[in-house]
Amino acid sequence: MLVKGQNLNMPIFYWILLIPIFFITSYKSLFFDWHIQLYYFNELEDFGRYVFVLGISFVEAFIYVSIIRSIVFLVQKMFKNKSTLS
C-alpha cells in the first residue's frame, strides 16, 4: 500500500513484466481500438495521438502489473497464514 512518506518499491521482476504487457496493450490500442492505421504521420495532431495512445497504454499496463502484484501478495499472505495455523 502507498503511505505518505514511502516510495513506490517494486521488485525488478514486475518492471520486466511491465514491458511485454505494455507491448500487448499498446498493440491492441493502436490497431484495434483507435484504428491508427487510418491516420498519417504528417501532422502534429497525429503525432500527439500516437503519444497519447502510448501513454494510456503504459498506464493500463502499470495497472495490470499492480493488480497482478496485489494478487500475488494476497495469495502469499493466505498461504503463510495457513501454514502457521497448522
- In 1-16, which positions are buried (b, 16+ CB within 10 angstroms) versus exposed (e)? eeeeeeeeeeeeeeee
Higher pLDDT, 80 or 61: 61
Question: Is residue 2 predicted with pLDDT exceeding 80?
Answer: no
DSSP state of 40: -
**Which of 13, 11, 31, 12 minimizes the C-alpha distance to 23?**
31
* pLDDT tens track for 22-78: 999 999 998 898 888 887 778 888 888 889 999 999 999 999 999 999 999 999 998
The whole-model pTM stands at: 0.80
Alpha helices in the chain (DSSP H): 12-28, 44-85
